[in-house]
Amino acid sequence: MIRNSRLADSEEESQPLLGAYGSDATKRDDRSQAHRFHLAGRGRYTSTVVMALCTFVNYAAFSLLAPFYPQVVAEKKEAAADTEVGVVMGSINVAAFISSIVFGRYMHRIGVKFLVVAGAFIVGGSTLIFGFVCDIGNWTAFIALSSAIRFIMGVGEGAFDTTSIAVGLTMFPARTATVWSVFEVAAGLGIITGPPLGGFLYDTKGFPIPFIVVGSIILLSVIFLLGLIPTINKASSERAVSVWPLLKILPIVMTCLSVFWSSATLGMLTTTISVYLKRTFQWTPTKISTAIVTNSAVYGISALVFGRLADATNPRVILSAGMVLRGCGLLLVGPSFVFTSLAPKPWLVYIAMVAMGSGAAAIQVSAGLVIIQSAIARGYQDDLSLNGCVSGLVLGTVFFALAIGSPVGGALTVKFGFRYSTSFMAFILLAQAAANLVMTIAQSRCPISRQTPGLPIN
């Protein structure tokens, strides 16, 4: 297993950068950082489970308003208000993108326990307060306050997600992808649960109740987080890891691009898939929801499988396989114009949903491990600072892609049609997968020092 210093001995310096996966050069050992936390044995598992459960509730709050908020906005304006709804929905992604990057860099200085607790408190408080915006009569004030509250919620979401994942990775460094998959499953289940829960509570009790109920649950969870989140022994030699030097490393840039394109397609489909299915097959909202839930359910199940595979094998292969699966799913959902003899069919939609869900899971759970291994191979210390920076980088990329994927994807669909826009995104994903594989093969055959000079850690 890898030594505590995480640096290679002189005889290992000539090993191929990417050929070393699974060797001492890039393996991470659960024992190497356990002493940093005042936890032992089951305490690490308990803390991780509690943070994952809080992630589930946070993402339920994230998607809670989807079934009814557009209707409320339209009733207030008595006209089409798609732009305003888009601004309110998208503001949380913009805020989460910014806060993920910032808190990922500085979490070891601010304090991990403070960020986890404060993040959950902000998400819970803003969710609860959002329940009362419907009482505002002025249209401009209603939209402005809705956007501001969602923006604040995004700040809390970014702080909580980035820090909780970083803590999990630091407690279980030998199971990076598996830990990441646990949080991805929790987030996916939360996004699935939020809309039906919000719709049910809205139909039975009115606008404020969904936000009051879920917000109160999140605030209650803060009490458990205070008691269960570990304190950390700061290493005197630990220094903040900046995102920008990491982005000078080609494998990391390629991995971030993979995450970006995968998440951008999610943003595009969020905006367009419901309209396409209704127009093409005259599906009811229930049937459309079934297809979307299929995608999310496959994502959750396959995330755990791909997480274990990424930890046990080369995560770059898992990443590229995910790109291929997601690209093929996008080609089938339309289906693409390249399939001239293939007409739209409901069964094709479900096959596409399975392919896209499993592909997204493979990309998301393997990306963090690829970036961490690439950074360690360049001489970065394997510690909380690196984990925080990587967590912030991956999550920031996801939120940024979601923020721009919806409007850009919607615009592409309006101009070129659903089949052409999904085909365009599929070709990008497949090209990215091919580039990833070529780079993996090429670098595995080219010896390179793992302590490349000129890449500062500051």
**Predicted local confidence at residue 83, as pLDDT:** 67
pLDDT above 70: residue 233: no
Query: If pLDDT is split at 50, 70 and 90, which confidence band does 20 have?
Result: very low
Quote the tokens at residue 257.
């691009």
Query: If pLDDT is split at 50, 70 and 90, which confidence band does 447 have?
Result: very low
Quote the tokens at residue 328.
């093929």
DSSP code of 447?
B
One-letter amino acid of 274: S
Please say whether the beta carbons of 169 and 391 come within 8 A. yes
d(Cα 274, Cα 195) in Å, to the nearest integer?
14
Query: If pLDDT is split at 50, 70 and 90, which confidence band does 9 have?
Result: very low
| Cβ count within 10 A of residue 396 | 24
Query: If pLDDT is split at 50, 70 and 90, which confidence band does 321 have?
Result: very high
| Cβ count within 10 A of residue 344 | 15
Please say whether the beta carbons of 345 and 281 come within 8 A. no
Altogether, the residues listed in the chain come to a count of 458
Which residues sit opposite 447 in a β-bridge?
Answer: 16
**% residues pLDDT > 70 (the chain):** 84
As a whole number, the mean pLDDT across the chain is: 82
pTM: 0.83
Q: What integer is the mean pLDDT of 436-456?
A: 59
Quote the tokens at residue 337.
């114009």
Q: What integer is the mean pLDDT of 11-26?
A: 39
**Predicted local confidence at residue 413, as pLDDT:** 84
Residue 394 buriedness (CB in 10 A; 0-12 / 13-18 / 19+): buried
Helix (H) or strand (E) holding 74: helix 69-77
Please say whether the beta carbons of 364 and 262 come within 8 A. yes
| Cβ count within 10 A of residue 24 | 15
37 three-class SS:
strand
| Cβ count within 10 A of residue 231 | 12
